[in-house]
Amino acid sequence: MTKSKSAIDVVKYPILSKFNEILHFTSTRTGGVSQGYYASLNLGKFSNDDPKNIHENFTRFLKEINISKNQLHLPFQTHEDVVLNIDDKFLNQKEKNQQEKLHGVDAVITNLPNQCVCVSTADCVPILIYDPVKKVVGAAHAGWRGTCSRIAKKTVNAMKEHYHSNPTVLVAVLGASISPNMYEVGDELITYFQEKNFDIDKIFFKKKENYHLDLWTANKLILLEAGILEKNIEVSGYCTFTEHERFFSARQLGIKSGRMVSGIMIK
């Protein structure tokens, strides 16, 4: 992890930082203008924060990472398993049509340079994937629903389908998100995951009287299932719940809290 010298704190991940040809990041809470549970760098485009604040936050953050607004492709996520490919056909559409295409999408891929694929989170797992051979990037949003539907594997499959990526060369990181010890869930989730053929003993555990779901292990297992090598998967270990002063956490701050953005781009 590296921290920018300015008021804006940008998280980067070691496994991706060794590739100079890509930009990647996870934003944090610092350096913005929003107030309350949105304080301060809320990048939740679809939150109920003042649109002027969100605009100013994006202006500051994009300046920090040195890209422009039209390079950023951030979907309206619905905890589903739809993967969108950002290609020339997509870029040639009007902005309104692009936004419609991004609605209901929880993972984005591209092989185009200077096009940053992103997801927004506030406890869910942001997954960033890079193919250093074919030069393809992907970003996925995995809450429990996305994890249960194997959104990470579907992202890898989309990279294979559109760009002939070989999973054994892919590099992936599970970014800042809620840690297993903090993620209490209802026991009904065990049934959902059982029905989707997960190894329940590896991803659920009981702590005192409550069940916990290990999203980190679950998504790592999904990436392994997709063919990515274990040495090429990094679990960042940053917990949004316990580090809520640095990261937005819907569980700590409420569902109407701000959102971080994680993204990856070929330069």
Q: What is the dihedral of CA 229, 182, 50, 31, to 10 degrees?
A: -70
Q: What is the mean pLDDT of the chain?
A: 96
Domain limits, the chain = 10-266
Helices 151-163, 215-225: axis angle to 10 degrees equals 30
What pTM was computed for the model?
0.97
Whole-angstrom distance, CA of residue 39 vs CA of residue 119? 19
pLDDT tens for residues 223-235? 999 999 999 999 9
pLDDT number for residue 265: 98
Helix (H, G, I), strand (E, B) or coil at 9: coil
Domain 10-266 has CATH 3.40.50.2300: no
pLDDT number for residue 1: 39
Is the per-residue pLDDT at 4 higher than 80?
no
Nearest to 116 by CA among 228, 24, 246, 17: 24
pLDDT number for residue 221: 98
pLDDT number for residue 255: 83
Contact 121, 47 (CB under 8 A): no
What's 80's DSSP letter?
S
Whole-angstrom distance, CA of residue 225 vs CA of residue 227? 5
Is the per-residue pLDDT at 182 higher than 50?
yes
| DSSP letter string, 97-165 | HHHHHHBT--EEEE--TT-EEEEEESSSEEEEEEETTTTEEEEEEESHHHHHTTHHHHHHHHHHHHH--
Beta strands in the chain (DSSP E): 10-11, 22-27, 72-73, 83-85, 107-110, 116-121, 125-131, 136-142, 171-174, 184-185, 204-207, 210-213, 233-235, 260-266
pLDDT tens for residues 33-76? 999 999 999 999 999 999 999 999 999 999 999 999 999 999 99
pLDDT tens for residues 128-180? 999 999 999 999 999 999 999 999 999 999 999 999 999 999 999 999 999 99
Whole-angstrom distance, CA of residue 150 vs CA of residue 83? 11
